[in-house]
Amino acid sequence: MAQLRRREFLKGAGIAVTTAPLAAAGGAGDGAAGRTDELPAGQPVDLALSVNGETQRVRVLPETPLVDALREGCARTGTKRSCGHGACGACTVLVDGTPRVACLSLAVDAPGHAIRTVEGLETDGKLHPVQQAFVDADALQCGFCTPGMVMSGVAFFERYRAAGRTDTPTDTEVGHAIAGNICRCGAQPAIMEAIRCACLGRTAVPPGMRDGVPAGALRRQDAVDKVTGRARYTVDVQLPGMLHGAILRAPHGHAVVKKLDLGPARRMPGVRAVVELLPRASGGWLTVRWAGMEVAAVAADTLAQARAALAAVDVQYDVRPPVVDRAAAERPDAPVIFPRQARGEARKAAEGPSFPHLLYRWDGNVRGSMIWPIDRDNGADVLEQVAAQPVRVDLAAETAVQVHATLEPHAVVAHWEGDRLTVYASTQTTQALASDVADAMDIPVAQVRVLAEHVGGAFGAKAGLKMEGLAAVRLAREAKAPVRIAVPVGDDLTATGNRPGTRHRIRIGADAGGRLRAIHHEGRSYCGAAVGESSTRMTDSLYHADASYRWDANVVTHSAPSVPFRAPGFPPNAFALEQAVDEVAAQLGVDPLTLRLYQERSPRRAAVLRLARAKWDGPPLDRVAADRGRYVRGAGVATADWFVLVGPQCRVEARATRDGHLTLSTATHDVGQGARTALASLGVAGLGLPPARVHVRIGDSALPPAPGTFGSISTNSFAPAALAALDELKDALWDAGARRHPGARRVERGLVTTGGRFLPFQELMAALPEDPYIVLARRPPDRGGLKLPPAPVDRIPLSPIGISQDTTNSVQIAEVEVDRRLGRVRVVRVLAVLDAGRLVAPITSASQVMGGIMQGVSFALYEGRRLDPHTGRNLTRSLESYALLGAADAPQVAVHFLDLPTEHTPHGGAGLGENATIATSGAVANAVFRAIGRRVPRTPLRPQDVLAALA
Amino acid sequence: MPLTILYPSDVAHAVDLHGGADGTEYKAGGTDVVDRHHQGILAPRTLVDLGRLGVLRGVEQRGDGWRIGALTTLLEVAGHEGLGREHPVLRQACDRTATPQVRAMATLGGSLRQKVRCPYFRHPDFTCWRKGGQECFARPGDNHWHAIWDNDTCAAVHPSTPAAALLALDAQLDVHFPGGDQRTVDMRAFTTFDVSDAMADDALPDAALVLGVRIPRPARPTRQAYERASARHLADWADVETAVVLQMDGDVVADARVVLGAVARRPRRAVEVEQRLNGHRLDAAVIADASAHAADGATPLPHNGHKTRLACNTVQATLERLTS
């Protein structure tokens, strides 16, 4: 195309031409009369963008989206790329003041418009009021949605101010303003409060904390980094010479690979390395058992080249019919997905120990309960006892497959320097990942360092070495250059993990006094090409029936393997169980909190139930609504428990310097739950230092050992170790101080000299014998020992973990409004009461509970993966078709804690991340029942299901 | 995939540049074509960018009604006070479409002519009718999102929410046809096409360019409303949606337009409902009786039978909003 025309175009469009030579392609020859301004395919264009008031020169291709131009071209990585479809809003920027999604905007359209990104909001080092309000309200967790969310908030704030308003913005209008921004961690109520407060010029407070923010509670330590876009995630890592990797996935649910030739891909432009990912098996390759299984990977100079090369891989499949449908998998004539000799190929669905396959009874595609203890009669005796009781419940329930849908996709940057390897990873297990990588590459673990400074959501899906990690590491070695792989959202929602769907039948017999006498629970978890889930465990731990039988099966299908997801097995367990128990209460006409108190042996759990009763000021709980208007309301109760997991090997280093700074380090992670804040809180409280003098280093496998961040284990592990380190440091400070001030008296936060002068620890640090003075302490054991000591369960991703004698307890009460005409369920509010022992960091704890509630509401009402029944391909591979809770549908929340130290953990605390989300869906379902008088025990509970139940 | 972008100097030039060529599409707001280009879904190779044709943008009140330029964004349409006051159905429909960020980019013309959102069509591994294949995968597969009318070939529903409102408003489109013709096409004609052609989404050739939308001044006072059934209140695709415009003689419905969206290959007038409203006062009994016929003649697929009830209930809910 003629260069003349290009220049004309560039001039006309106000696009600055830089000195870059513009390749002239011949053969204009189009038939159009007159002048055709044109951007020819494949030819770079030099643009001058106005970004935050500065002129930013960038070279792009005609198809380059604005988000890539900003992130890759201008190195402004504050703007995040997530879904790529305009559905999640993570890439929101303001264009001439209006929020737009930068993933669907072309960079070439941007010149001549004023673009504002999150990096441009501060003035003179001071946060924008909306940013400040986000910090104050703790309106963020992992922080990956935050830049986009802040931009939508800023646009609303500016409209509000421009209109000269002083009234309080309504939930409806704020909900509308941020309807295009998804927060997976569940900060929606806090985000809305933050925007409201920013508009009103009022200091925001975290909305869940109905009892007020405790004095001295630390704010989220990385909040400022996250609201300004400075927080660096794996997808933001850019190294010199970095290549871009992409993964080829099998498009068939069931197939045998006949041929796999990487040669043609190697010869494609820009390709620097190609590796096979599908494991070899005797005479060929492992059978493809889900659509999305990894086959090969390519690294090239650009992502477009890598993707083009994937298409060139010569792979031939012998396609077989997949078993996708749940019911089909259990038919006696169903093809067996894992024949006996192939059972080892099933992936591992849960994070608990897995035992040899031969310990389980397999029947086709159904892996039954463990053979031991032997059940001879499928609980027939328990059924007899159920039948003998005056109150009997028989409830069937099912839950859909839930996908983690972290806003930061699975991402890895692998960088070899000689035989040393640095892996930047969006992971919740840095050390386990380092160890996995070392094993896979056959190098000593000391040569591998894994870094995860900020992690944009994990929820269980980012534990251990995944295929994209293996691919990046191998590609980087082959290419002798750093390689980044960020899994595209379609693949991320398809192949990187999910919570199994479940089906349950629960039969309960209760006596006339409301005591549960016999419980028979059959549970099935549909784990895809994996096994290891349990969805009935809580039935025994929560209630203590005289007779109980659980059948806990895994059903395999030709679909992507499940992986752990926040409280594996428990939310579906609670969804079914707590509806069955609610049914007992309803039959007896007893308040469901009272019914649960009848069962209670644990004083702590009883205290949680009583606190919930005291705090609930919504509709009565014992009522099934008689109202038959269009909008009806009801309130439902559900309860939960969760283990207190501990990593006994966890160590924390406390490093004090003579200039009065403290740094606490351990290899834990902040995936949004607030590990930085918890550690900093311990440091501030322990030594009485100002927060600015306490620093935290985490997210690095080279730091002192810590378990992965899952199962609510982190704080239970590092907090006691940190306290031990601080105690040791305090001794050193007292000693050092006493040497300088003989006769000084030890007080809690320093020394008091004989002259009566108080010397705080900060001052004593100047007297430390070494600079820095370093203490490394191991987590002290639980009082009275563990319930289950660390076992050499299977290997990584688990560093040794034990189970404490403590338990966490929770109750949630949800109020819903059901539209009987359109079937929509709206959760109006949720009250959560948790016993998680003594809190380390109250603000982030309350946020985590709020997030658990939001995820639980999302699970109950919206989320459900759908597969094509004939091919097993995922039809919900975008955030348009896989629906997540939006702000406009988010309930009000109130979070209360039973602030009572635990009996056994050294720090008196217990975790709370899992227990925050377990009860929610059951509470919502029970509330729907109380509202409409019909039970619809199914997730997601869609409008049509409600209408069908009412018909 | 490499992309060429052409910038026409005027409307006629744009239509010439498009020329009906395979792989060539117009780009207005870009929310569909850019997405498909990036995802490789029937990816355009050449875009004729309309963004600089300023004549196509803006809302204008004329003696005989309103004219909205095709490049007017949904945000602008929803935010126009006079238009919204007179035609709340259009404002409500635009307001419930997509997300604020997308509404700020997506245009009224682009909304009418975007490609379907069927998850099979949008999946890279299904080569359906629309991508040169020989079958619809949704009909034998998971058709929970799909059409309950017009579903013999392609079963995807028409994706445009504003289209339902425009059909209810008896709107007309100013269209520039290949060859140079400029004609007015009313929404009824626009949405009348041979549904056995799996590729078709409307009655216009691909290269025809919608220049603007005219909304004629109604002969009588109207009552208007848009409503949808969807799991989420906002930022969701409708399971079923309804746009209603009732011309009133006092309390009596003189001429009803009841349009259903997300149920067929096109926005569909529920004539059976309209007939039962015309000549009646809008009371609960009339509404209940009429809305029960909203799905008459529907031919649901195995997984979307729920849409018939949603259709009836959505029509009922919309009409109930108009009783006072």
Q: Would you state the structure tokens that stand for residue A608, as one six-digit string?
A: 């949680």
Measured between CB atoms, does A105 come within 8 Å of chain B?
A: yes
Q: Which of A629, A812, A637, A801 is nearest to A714 (CA)?
A: A801
Q: How far are the Cα atoms of A234, A408, A456, A622, A939 from residue A238, in angstroms, in the given order? A: 9, 16, 17, 58, 41
Q: What is the mean pLDDT of residues B186-206?
A: 96
Work out the average pLDDT over B201-220.
Answer: 97
pLDDT of residue A799: 64
A65 touches chain B (CB under 8 A): yes
**Dihedral (CA of A600, A603, A607, A608) sign:** negative
User: Residue B241 — very low, low, confident or very high, per pLDDT cuts 50/70/90?
Assistant: very high
Taking alpha carbons only, the member of A212, A206, A211, A209 closest to residue A192 is A206
Minimal-distance CA residue of chain A relative to B16: A32
A119 residue type, one letter: E
Q: What is the pLDDT of residue A352?
A: 62
Residue A643: closest CA among A799, A800, A808: A808
**10 Å Cβ neighbour count for A727?**
15
- The shortest CB-CB distance from B100 to any of A179, A861, A948 is to A179
DSSP string, B306-317: HHHHHHHHHHHH
For A19, the token pair is: 């000195």
Which residues 487-506 on chain A approach chain B with CB closer than 8 angstroms? Answer: 490
* Among candidates B46, B104, B235 on the partner chain, residue whose Cβ is nearest the Cβ of A179: B235
SS (H, E, C) B36-76: HHHHCCCCCCEEEECCCCHHHCCEEEECCEEEEECCCEHHH
- Å from A171 to nearest chain B CA? 13
Side-chain-side CA neighbours of B199 within 13 Å: the count stands at: 11
Q: Give the sheet arrangement for strand A773-778, strand by strand.
A: A694-697, A662-665, A651-656, A773-778
Nearest to A857 by CA among A836, A884, A895: A884
Q: Do B99 and A98 touch (CB under 8 A)?
A: no
Nearest-CA residue of chain B relative to A867?
A: B142
B198 band by pLDDT with thresholds 50, 70 and 90: very high
Q: 């060859």: which residue's tokens?
A: B179
Cβ separation A176–B100 shorter than 8 A: yes
8 A C-beta contact, residue A275 and residue A260: no
Report the DSSP beta bridge partners of residue A275. Answer: A297
Q: What residues pair up with A423 in beta bridges, in sequence order?
A: A414, A450
Helices (H) and strands (E) in chain A, counts: 25, 38
Cis ω on the peptide bond leading into residue A792 (within 30° of 0)?
A: no
- Residues 6 or more apart from A65 whose CB is under 8 A from it? A102, A103, A104, A105, A106, A107, B34, B38
Residue B171 pLDDT class (50, 70, 90 cuts):
very high
Strands A547-556 and A516-528: parallel
The pair of structure tokens assigned to A82 is 């997530």
Q: How far apart are CA A923 and CA A578, in angstroms?
A: 8
Mutation target among B99, B131, B309, B318 for the A interface, most CBs of A within 10 A: B99
Task: Using an 8 Å CB-CB cutoff, list chain A residues near B231.
Answer: 824, 861-862, 883, 940, 942-943
Interface touch B5/A152, C-beta < 8 Å: no
Alpha-carbon gap, residue A823 to A631, rounded angstroms: 10
Q: Are B99 and A180 within 8 A, CB to CB?
A: yes
Whether B100 and A99 have beta carbons less than 8 Å apart is answered as yes
Element containing residue A671 per DSSP (H, E): none
The whole-number pLDDT of residue B154 equals 97
Q: Are A761 and A738 in contact (CB under 8 A)?
A: no
Q: Residue A715 and residue A910: Cα distance in Å, rounded?
A: 8
- Asked if A361 and A554 count as a contact pair (C-beta separation under 8 A), the reply is no
In chain A, residues with a C-beta closer than 8 Å to the C-beta of B34 are 63, 65, 104-106
Q: How far is CA A110 from CA A14, A91, B7, in A?
A: 10, 15, 15
* Cα distance between residue A72 and residue B196, in whole Å: 46
Q: Supply the pLDDT for residue A626.
A: 77
Determine, for residues A861 and B8 on separate chains, whether the beta-carbon distance falls below 8 Å.
Answer: no
Distance (Å, whole) CA A852 – CA A916:
5
Residue A270 DSSP code: T
What CA–CA distance (Å, rounded) separates A314 from A276? 12
Angstrom distance (rounded) from CA B68 to CA A566: 49
- Measured CA to CA, the distance from residue A933 to residue A832 in angstroms comes to 24
Whole-structure pTM value: 0.96
Test B231 with A34 for CB contact under 8 angstroms.
no
Q: Of A276, A283, A247, A245, give the one whose Cα is nearest residue A261.
A: A276
- Is B142 in contact with A868 (Cβ distance < 8 A)? yes
Record the tokens describing residue A556, joined without a space.
Answer: 């395999």
Mean pLDDT by 10 residues, chain A (951 residues): 40 40 32 65 96 97 98 95 96 98 98 98 97 98 98 98 98 96 98 98 92 92 98 98 98 98 98 97 94 98 97 98 94 94 88 72 89 74 97 98 98 98 97 95 97 97 95 98 97 97 98 97 96 94 94 96 97 98 97 95 95 96 86 97 95 98 98 97 97 98 95 96 98 96 95 96 97 97 91 54 94 98 97 96 97 98 98 97 95 95 97 97 98 96 96 90
Q: Are A921 and A860 in contact (CB under 8 A)?
A: yes
Cα-Cα-Cα-Cα dihedral sign, residues A706, A709, A713, A716: positive
What is the Cα Rg of chain B in Å? 19
Specify the DSSP class assigned to residue A263.
H
pLDDT band at B19 (very low <50, low <70, confident <90, very high): very high
